[in-house]
Amino acid sequence: MKRTWLLFAQAVTVLLAAYFVVATLKPEWINRRTTSLGGVVSIIEAPASSTPGVPAPGSLSAAAKKASPAVVSINTSKAAQRHPRSNDPWFRFFFGDQDDQPQVGLGSGVIVSTDGYILTNNHVVEGADEIEVTLNDSRHARGKVIGTDPDTDLAVLKIELDKLPVIVLGSSDELQVGDQVLAIGNPFG
């Protein structure tokens, strides 16, 4: 009896292991049923617009289309800083060899002047050794930090390019709580 029970337990263990491997590596092999609620989920789709090209009420697509040429992608890099204990064998054992690879960052900004001034976040350019700005039309330029304000997380960059698209800023004095505003960015190009 003991031997039969041992054989049964081993068979069940092998079958469960095989099921786990198949479910992990080839889940399409296992015929999974729909959720326990059963049935098919029906999705209701809005009817097509009767006038194509006309934005939906409340849409900010026109504002985004107007502003997007002035939005830039910002790539930064900073030289790697070696940890003071990086030569310690115990430190290397637990944390591995710390490479001297530069730290890179991504962000976005907006061109606010035809002279090449760009408004961005301070955390995007803080401590950066190199700043590369990519425009919506795929032009590239080196950015130079003109000024930063860590308290408000704002920074101003300058690039040297011709024929820059510029965003038109509204008056914040005319805004009220509850008004619609649009935040636009393009950190990934």
Q: Using an 8 Å Cβ cutoff, are 127 and 31 in contact?
A: no
pLDDT at 39 over 70: no
- Does residue 35 register a pLDDT over 90? no
- Provide DSSP, 102-160: PEEEEEEEEE--TT-EEEE-HHHHTT-SEEEEE-TTS-EEE-EEEEEETTTTEEEEE--
Q: Tell me the average pLDDT across 28-55.
A: 68
Residue 38 identity (one-letter amino acid): G
Reply yes or no on whether the pLDDT at 34 is more than 50.
Answer: no
| Class level of CATH domain 63-170 | mainly beta
Highest mean pLDDT among 30-44, 59-73, 80-94, 129-143: 129-143
Strand, coil or helix: what is 91? helix
Residue with tokens 């107007």: 66
Residue 114 has which token pair?
Answer: 């035809």
Cα angle: 156, vertex 116, 70; to 5 degrees: 90
Average pLDDT of the residues of the chain = 83
The string of pLDDT tens digits covering residues 91-113 is 777 777 666 667 788 899 999 99
Which run of H or of E encompasses 41? none
Helices (H) and strands (E) in the chain, counts: 4, 7
Domain residue ranges in the chain: 63-170
C-alpha dihedral (161, 108, 111, 119), degrees to nearest 10: -120
In tens, the pLDDT along 167-178 reads 988 888 888 899
